[in-house]
Amino acid sequence: MEEDKDVVSWSAMMEGFSKCDEFSKVVGCFKDMQEQGVKPNAVTFLCLLSVCSHLGLVNEGRNFFKMMTKEYYNVTPTIEHYGCMIDLLAHTGQFDEARQLLHSMPSEFNPGGCISLINHYSFESDAASGK
């Protein structure tokens, strides 16, 4: 039970910093959490991915998403994690990668909202470039 309190406390601090767009403090908390041996959970990664999406930090978002895998923390991505990544990729013009990620999602997820999101950003991009 004490371990749950630790990851909840760390995630809450990270969420607070993310609301202020303090990416360096979010990452600092994440690193401190790792150093103290606290294993991040799905909420921790959702916070990290959300701030990356909000600030357009593609490489950082990719790295955090990869850290969720069995090789690192064995945290299964939810539709919310995929949504953050697809939003990040589409918002920064990485449409092909966003679509690839969409097609790699587990079949039990309903990707309708994500498809709409990619199409929205793709349409905006085309309109801005005069296509």
So what's the pLDDT on residue 4? 52
What's the mean pLDDT in 87-110?
A: 84
Q: How confident is the model at residue 20 (pLDDT cuts 50, 70, 90)?
A: confident
Residue 130: is its pLDDT beyond 50?
A: no
Is residue 77 helix, strand or coil?
Answer: coil
Give the distance from CA 58 to its chain's centroid: 10
What are the domain boundaries of the chain?
1-54, 77-131
d(CA 111, CA 87) in angstroms, rounded, equals 12
Per-residue pLDDT tens over the stretch 54-97: 889 999 999 999 999 888 999 999 989 998 999 899 889 898 89
Per-residue pLDDT tens over the stretch 8-19: 999 999 999 988
